[in-house]
Structure 1
Amino acid sequence: MDEFEDEVLQFPQTPKTPWSFGRQTSTSYPSRSEITHSELESRNPSAWNPERGTELLVAAEKGDSDTVRRLLETTSLDADFCSEEDKRTALHRAAGYGHLAVVEILLKAEGNPLVQSAAGRTALHDSCIGGFDRVVKVLVRYMKRGRALDTQDKDGQSACHLAAFHGELDCFNILADKGADCGLHDNLMRTPGHLAAMRNHPSILQSLFYKGINLQVTDSQGRSPIHYAAQHGGLEALVALIQCDCPTTVGDSFGCRPHHYAAAHNHVNCLRLLIKNGCHPEGRDGSGRTPAHMAAQYDGMTCLHWLLEKGINPNIQDDQGYTPLHYAGEAGSAECFNCCLQHDAELSIRNNRDDTALDTAKLAGHPVVIEKALKSELKCRHCLHKYNFLEWEKANQPSQVERGISHAGESAYVSPLPPAQRVASQLERNRQKQQKLSAKKTSQDKKGTKSDVKLPRRDLATKYYGEHVGDIYKLDF
């Protein structure tokens, strides 16, 4: 059992300590907007002493529990003192660095765990960022009122979002078990599942799936977590989402499927996995672009080369008449342009504006670099590697003697019989062997000799040298 389960943390019922002077003593925590710095200073000027307060913040950040306790007991300093720059209290700093003893002291001194910093974050947010699950347990026990666990910062992200983003599974499970909303949306309509897929944390995604959270929910642009995993190259997260039955062919608001994002960001392993699991290599988005178009447009040279090697049409056009060669010229990607030319892309194809790929490159301001790619002065590194390998194989062909030795080794033990007779004879031998075993078993059953006798236990020596070893040395096996 956890060492914190037996401990019951409660707020003081009759606050008569020096640090509670001039503060509200209700069990419902007031927000920072309800009690301002000026009000605290007007009630008790010494409670907002900058010098003492700075000393408290430094001690809390360093984990100096003795100094924190001394300042709170010997002065009337407020436990919620914060710096004017980031508005972070001592509780924020102690929780952010995982100082459990200091956190307990501040909470027992009526430190407010719901106070938000300038970024809108509570101490629970900071402890989840650092992955301090023991601190999270204590803070959660003090924040059972209402939806305090789902407090959102200025980006709309709760503590669950930050725990999922940083891959802190223990903190995430603690929040989920205490009733935090694991499907909460931030300002961009992203859930913790989106952030876990973005940072490639498959354990968080599996935890969400087992808790019944929908992993197909979309953000403000219609993208689900599987789009985020493909975009950011999270191969393990992508595998986890596919295992959780997330569809691979769903499009976002622009019709882009996950393999379009993988090609655009040059994540070839993710692209291969998605095509293997149902994505069509020439699937189009809302503008008619294929993954080859996306790879050429965003300089995804590795993905473009892999697609062209798999037989993708290099002259395929989108709704605007653009081929991958047009997009490579417009982006000024010399290697992608050369890769398309190496795979028989045509320079004469025109788009809807009657521009060739070279015209598009000139209009985009990349005539020089594309001219070098056209003359193969700048080459696709993958095409160059393939060419060098083929040339090496051609130059290092095996001699006639080496070919003869290789052929003799392959045919040295081949039966002289034709293949049909060879298979028939093998089947006949297997049948005869099976008949002999059946006849031997039948004769043993009739005699009742070895089948009814309980054999002695055998050891390693008996196994390899026979049962007579036990008779010679008179050992009991």
Structure 2
Amino acid sequence: MVDIHRVSNHVQMDYDLDNREAKQGKMLPCHEDRLDSGLDSLKEDELVNQFQDMAVDAVLSTSLQEEYEPWRAAVTDDGDTLLHLAVIHEATDHALQMIRLSHNHPFLNVQNHQRQTALHLAVITEQLQLVEKLLKAGCDPRLADDSGNTPLHIACKKGSLACFGLITQNCQRHLASIVSFPNYSGHNCLHLASINGFVSLVEGLVQLGADINAQEQCSGRTSLHLAVDLQDSTLVRCLLDLGADVNCLNYGGFAPYHLTYGRQNEEIRCQLYARTPQALRQLPDSESDDSDMEDLDLSDDELYDDIKFGK
């Protein structure tokens, strides 16, 4: 049995990445990263009233502040706490106040119905001050949303170097497990950065110890396979310079060079041809390049990172 984190008020937390293994042979549906604005469940004036109600007099003693606070228990129909709503509506002052009063408190790690913590939302909306404050206050960067993405996965999909830097600098203890952890589509952080063509993030992840030859769980493609699939010559060159293995085969028995068949990018073909052994330059007899391409299956979640408001 895997260990499951839970918070007060019986709000379920996601699995501990250090103790969790992905289910074999089963991938959950993939959804776009999104945030629920809470507009249907809490009107703007009601939100302001809620924030005013939770205002805390600065002269209160520390002991009183640590006692039960009603504003921590307030949850919308979408599972959003006041902290979620403050992040969504970019009510920075109120968010900072709640973070300050909740240092190392389970409240910081409450997940809404999309299993997003306030840290997920701060990364999606790229509110760097909140990202840093949440991490330093004890928000757990290992928690995954309903697509299996941690905040670092989201930063890699969005190409946010600033969020990437803040997260990696403030979670050294768990960094290795987060970087290698696959989401529910079988992609780890390096795969997501590769799919979206963020070369700087690819370089940063490899420097941090990410396995450049890690295979995504759907069809065994490495980042080099993905780069060839997407015909990204800059990324192919980067991965080769970083030491990507041209001999690595996906689950269909294809090396990266095989994926150049039928493609128009001669630069990629030439780069791989010079590095690929003669034995791996011919397609497997029982397969075709087209069959492998049909398995590419990059969903909109991997190609785009739109924020959806509402359900």
Question: How far, CA to CA, are the matches of 1:90 and 1:237 in structure 2?
Answer: 41
The reply to whether residue 199 of structure 1 matches residue 230 of structure 2 is: yes
Partner of 1:158: 188
Partner of 2:256: 225
The reply to whether residue 93 of structure 1 matches residue 93 of structure 2 is: no
Query: Percent identity of the aligned residues?
Result: 20
Deviation digits for residues 22-64 of structure 1, max 9, x if unmatched?
xxxxxxxxx98233565569x9795453149444224334554
The 5 A counterparts of 1:299-318 are: none
Question: How far, CA to CA, are the matches of 1:202 and 1:177 in structure 2?
Answer: 21
Partner of 2:98: 71
SS at match of 1:34: strand
SS at match of 1:156: coil
Partner of 2:198: 168
Q: Report the Cα offset of residue 210 of structure 1.
A: 1.6
Amino acid at match of 2:189: A
Amino acid at match of 1:100: L
The reply to whether residue 249 of structure 1 matches residue 281 of structure 2 is: yes
Partner of 1:421: none
8 Å CA contact 2:7, 2:110 repeated in 1: no
| Aligned match for 1:114, one of 133, 142, 150 | 142
Question: How far, CA to CA, are the matches of 2:166 and 2:137 in structure 1?
Answer: 14
Q: Report the Cα offset of residue 179 of structure 1.
A: 0.8
| Aligned match for 1:144, one of 148, 151, 172 | 172
Partner of 1:34: 5
Partner of 1:348: none
SS at match of 2:4: coil
Partner of 1:411: none
Q: Report the Cα offset of residue 96 of structure 1.
A: 2.7
The 5 A counterparts of 1:50-449 are: 50-51=75-76, 53-61=80-88, 63-73=90-100, 78-84=107-113, 86-145=114-173, 147-148=176-177, 149-187=179-217, 188-230=219-261, 236-242=267-273, 244-245=275-276, 249-252=281-284, 254-256=286-288
Question: How far, CA to CA, are the matches of 1:44 and 1:252 in structure 2?
Answer: 65
- The normalised TM-score by structure 2 is 0.63
8 Å CA contact 1:231, 1:261 repeated in 2: no
Q: Report the Cα offset of residue 229 of structure 1.
A: 4.3
Structure 1 pair 77–144 and aligned structure 2 pair: CA distance change class (3 A): closer
8 Å CA contact 1:95, 1:135 repeated in 2: yes
Deviation digits for residues 294-345 of structure 1, max 9, x if unmatched?
xxxxxxxxxxxxxxxxxxxxxxxxxxxxxxxxxxxxxxxxxxxxxxxxxxxx
Question: How far, CA to CA, are the matches of 2:198 and 2:119 in structure 1?
Answer: 20
8 Å CA contact 1:189, 1:218 repeated in 2: yes
Deviation digits for residues 121-150 of structure 1, max 9, x if unmatched?
111100001101121122112333353221
8 Å CA contact 1:127, 1:133 repeated in 2: yes
8 Å CA contact 1:221, 1:253 repeated in 2: no
Q: Report the Cα offset of residue 243 of structure 1.
A: 5.1
Deviation digits for residues 360-386 of structure 1, max 9, x if unmatched?
xxxxxxxxxxxxxxxxxxxxxxxxxxx
SS at match of 1:194: helix
Q: Report the Cα offset of residue 227 of structure 1.
A: 3.3
- The normalised TM-score by structure 1 is 0.43
Question: How far, CA to CA, are the matches of 1:96 and 1:232 in structure 2?
Answer: 35
8 Å CA contact 1:120, 1:154 repeated in 2: yes
Question: How far, CA to CA, are the matches of 2:207 and 2:81 in structure 1?
Answer: 36
Structure with greater helix share of residues: 1
SS at match of 2:172: coil
Question: How far, CA to CA, are the matches of 1:48 and 1:239 in structure 2?
Answer: 60
Question: How far, CA to CA, are the matches of 2:7 and 2:259 in structure 1?
Answer: 41
Gaps of 5+ in 2: 13-66, 295-311
Amino acid at match of 1:204: L
Structure 1 pair 226–61 and aligned structure 2 pair: CA distance change class (3 A): farther
Question: How far, CA to CA, are the matches of 2:173 and 2:115 in structure 1?
Answer: 23
Question: How far, CA to CA, are the matches of 2:139 and 2:90 in structure 1?
Answer: 16
Partner of 1:440: none
Amino acid at match of 1:80: N
Gaps of 5+ in 1: 1-30, 266-477
Deviation digits for residues 241-269 of structure 1, max 9, x if unmatched?
3354476733247243x5x779x99xxxx
8 Å CA contact 1:226, 1:246 repeated in 2: no
Amino acid at match of 1:90: A
Partner of 1:429: none
8 Å CA contact 2:100, 2:137 repeated in 1: no
8 Å CA contact 1:97, 1:130 repeated in 2: no
- Deviating beyond 6 angstroms after TM superposition, the runs of 4 or more aligned structure 1 residues are none
Partner of 1:11: none
Amino acid at match of 1:220: Y
Deviation digits for residues 102-123 of structure 1, max 9, x if unmatched?
2101101211000011111111
Deviation digits for residues 77-117 of structure 1, max 9, x if unmatched?
71122211x21112112223332212101101211000011
